[in-house]
């Protein structure tokens, strides 16, 4: 919130937040994990709104609900277009992976994670995200 001054200003910025998701249907299936990780990494690095909102969501119900709304309104529809088998579960697991990463890199600032290059992050995380897309549901 140090960037926004107060929760009201943070929530006003978050109200208009757009993940700017790429057109995933135009991406080859084998590259989806890579494209998703690259995209979210770029969004986290370029716009501090999501980091501030994530930090607030841990202890503030309004911020938590806004994060859920962003997922429900933006991420989930993009995955539902691609995946007919357990799309909501797969989208939630991918979102959890990306949020966990964001907590480690931007909030906790864990040394090994903040020292990684973008390419290192993509190389480590893209196969995991791709696995959420490809692995048959239990």
pLDDT digits (tens, 9 = 90+) for 118-130: 999 999 999 999 9
pTM for the structure as a whole? 0.85
Domain boundaries, the chain: 7-16+47-134
Average pLDDT, the chain: 87
Look at 43 and 16; give whichever has higher pLDDT.
Answer: 43
Q: What is the pLDDT of residues 48-102, one digit of tens each?
A: 888 888 888 888 888 888 888 888 888 888 888 888 799 999 999 999 999 999 9
Give the per-residue pLDDT at 9: 58
> Would residue 92 be called left, alpha or beta, if left means φ above 0 and alpha means ψ between -120 and 50 degrees?
alpha
Residues 6+ positions from 83 with CB-CB distance below 8 Å: 90, 91, 133
């Amino acid at each position: 919130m140090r960037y926004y001054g107060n929760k009201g200003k943070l929530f006003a910025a978050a109200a208009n937040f757009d993940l700017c998701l790429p057109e995933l249907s135009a991406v080859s299936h084998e590259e989806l994990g890579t494209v998703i990780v690259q995209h979210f990494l770029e969004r986290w690095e370029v716009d501090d709104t999501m980091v501030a909102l994530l930090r607030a969501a841990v202890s503030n119900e309004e911020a938590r609900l806004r994060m859920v709304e962003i997922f429900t309104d933006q991420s989930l529809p993009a995955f539902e277009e691609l995946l007919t088998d357990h799309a909501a579960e797969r989208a939630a697991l991918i979102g959890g992976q990306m949020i966990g990463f964001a907590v480690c890199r931007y909030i906790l600032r864990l040394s090994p994670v903040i020292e990684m290059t973008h390419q290192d992050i993509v190389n480590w995380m893209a196969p995991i995200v791709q696995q959420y897309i490809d692995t048959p549901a239990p």
